[in-house]
Amino acid sequence: MKSTTLQRARDFEARYSPFITPAERPVFHVSPMIGWMNDPNGFSVYKGEYHLFYQYNPYSTKWDTMHWGHVKTKDFIRWEWLPAVLAPDMPYDQNGCFSGSAIELPDGRQLLMYTGVRQSRRKNGKIQDRQTQCIAIGDGINYQKYDLNPVITAEDLPEGGSTQDFRDPKIWKDGDRYFAAIGNRPADGSGSILLYESKDCLKWTLDGVLASCHNQYGRMWECPDFFCLDGKDVLLVSPQEMNPIGLEFHAGNGTVCLIGTYDEKTRHQIRENVQAVDYGLDFYAPQTLLTPDGRRVMIAWMQNWETVNCQPNHIRYFGEMTLPRELSVRNGRLYQQPVRELEKYRGYQILYKNVQFSGSTSLGNVKGRVLDMTVQIRPAAENALYRTFKINVASDGEHSVTIRYKPENNTVRIDRTHSGFPHDIVSVRDFMVRPDGGRIKLRIVMDRHSIELFVNDGEQAATAMIYTDQNADAINFEADGSVVMDVEKYDLIMD
Ligand code: FRU
């Protein structure tokens, strides 16, 4: 049965979303049907298609009482909007249906687990959240909230665990048991990920603490995901209130990948390596799924909380997802590459090999805002290392977004200072790359308002939103010193 709150959201979507024209939107990245979008939710395989839900406020381009929006795809590139699935219409979720995940049940239905938020006013006048985990079950279009909601509550928390910060369940199945990783704020005020277990996905018991932050990587850990990949057990979390650490982690909301081994006995992840997930400006709350052909694919919110109110007024929706990315673990590090399906949408190949230059140059037909371009660089002579190499994209003389590589200190910089943001926001990010005698491979995927950079076949990724006018589509290259460059460029075409 659809509640009037959900029906109202669906009516609103149907009535107003046609006013947003395709030209205003990204071509192959997910954007909300209307209004506001944040975290990816319920990224899953269901009946042979990939489903993605999202944190959603259909009624405005600002965050407010959360619903779940819905899209699906067969190939991660061409997405179809479906009507909203969850609305805040029950006492236990009246202040929002927060993030969660999805899984197909043995009987063919799909189960969503999400965080229900209910607020109350304390005696001292302060508003307090109570967050619990809730379930809805459906057929890929309509979902019915479970009669016995909420299914995981304050009673299922370890001692000292906060009921205000208890959210974002990620569920998976292992053998005949279901597991859920859920973010919580323990007594020390930082973050931890709790592990729950169930036989039927409805009745849950606490297993233990999968991982704890101890105030080392930020505080409250949001949106966990936990999976086995290439022999390692990988935990992704999105901490709030991070302090910067070198060039690895920036301040504020970050994304952290903890690579290690899961100890079945203690139900704890033994940590071996910790790194950022994305080194750019706009990336948060990633979630993954496992494809039928065995690929671990990740998608994330391509925004950051600090700048949500900073987009230009002419953009009539808010929020986009990143391109889905294939993950792997090599040498103890997380690698990510755009899903291979993207290559089906490549137009003609523009190829330049062994272009030697110093100063600045541009190349015929190398331009555009919806493209997939790989640039490989090396020094022109063995013993003459160049100082900097730059790619300027989304350029028109006045504007440009710059990717700069400095071999001398092994850093890459992404700089969107001149990308059309009408606010004084953080626009530059530097990060370390592997030293390789001035050789580097930079793959850039652009889709109107975004740029996603993949360094050295996925050793690092860096993502940024850019709002530069679409006519700013020139690309040019600069080298301080002499370089040799190969450029392979495709327009991405969706007909
Ligand atoms: C992360 C987050 C989640 C929460 C959701 C609310 O971006 O804060 O922890 O469930 O957004 O929209």
pLDDT digits (tens, 9 = 90+) for 31-40: 999 999 999 9
Q: Is the CB of 113 under 6 A from ligand 1?
A: no
Q: Which atom of ligand 1 is nearest to the CA of 66?
A: 12
Q: Is the CB of 93 under 6 A from ligand 1?
A: no
Whether residue 1 has pLDDT greater than 80: no
Atom of ligand 1 at shortest range from CA of 253: 7
Find all residues with CB under 8 Å of 354, minimum gap 6, and list them: 484, 485, 486
Q: What is the predicted pLDDT for the residue at 96?
A: 98
Distance of CA 303 from the midpoint of ligand 1 (Å): 13
Query: Which member of 11, 39, 457, 480 is catalytic?
Result: 39
Judged by average pLDDT, the poorest of 346-350, 383-387, 402-406 is 383-387
Cβ–ligand 1 distance for 304 under 6 Å, the answer: no
pTM of the predicted model as reported, rounded to 2 decimal places: 0.97
User: What's the 321 CA to ligand 1 centre distance in angstroms?
Assistant: 14
pLDDT of 122 strictly over 80: yes
For residue 51, the model assigns a pLDDT of 98
Q: With contact defined as beta carbons under 8 Å apart, do 300 and 242 qualify?
A: no
Per-residue pLDDT, 355: 98
Residue 61 Cβ < 6 Å to ligand 1: no
Q: How far is the CA of 99 from the centre of ligand 1 (A)?
A: 6
* Residue 182, pLDDT above cutoff 80: yes
255 lines ligand 1 (CB under 6 A): no
Rounded to the nearest angstrom, the distance between the alpha carbon of 39 and the centre of ligand 1 is: 6
Give the residue-averaged pLDDT of 427-442.
97
pLDDT at site 422: 87
Q: Which atom of ligand 1 is nearest to the CA of 98?
A: 10
CA of 94 to the centre of ligand 1 (A): 16
**Cα–Cα distance, 172 to 166 (Å, whole number):** 18
Query: CB under 8 Å to 469, separation ≥6 — which residues?
Result: 396, 399, 420
Q: Assess whether the C-beta atom of 223 lies below 6 angstroms from ligand 1.
A: yes
Closest atom of ligand 1 to 63 CA is: 12
User: What's the farthest any 2 CA atoms get from each other in the chain?
Assistant: 73
The whole-chain average pLDDT of the chain stands at 97
168 is catalytic: no
Confidence band (pLDDT; 50, 70, 90) for 110?
Answer: very high
Q: What is the mean pLDDT of residues 166-179?
A: 97
In the prediction, which pLDDT does 313 show? Answer: 86
Which contacts of 50-54 are long-range, i.e. CB under 8 A and separated by 24 or more positions?
50/74, 50/76, 50/289, 50/291, 51/102, 51/110, 51/140, 52/79, 52/299, 52/321, 53/85, 53/86, 53/102, 53/112, 54/30, 54/319, 54/321
Q: Is 222 in the pocket of ligand 1 (CB under 6 A)?
A: yes
Residue 431 has pLDDT above 90, yes or no: yes
The residue nearest atom 9 of ligand 1, judged by CA position, is: 222
Instruction: Please state whether beta strands 97-104 and 79-86 pair in parallel, antiparallel, or not at all (unpaired).
Output: unpaired
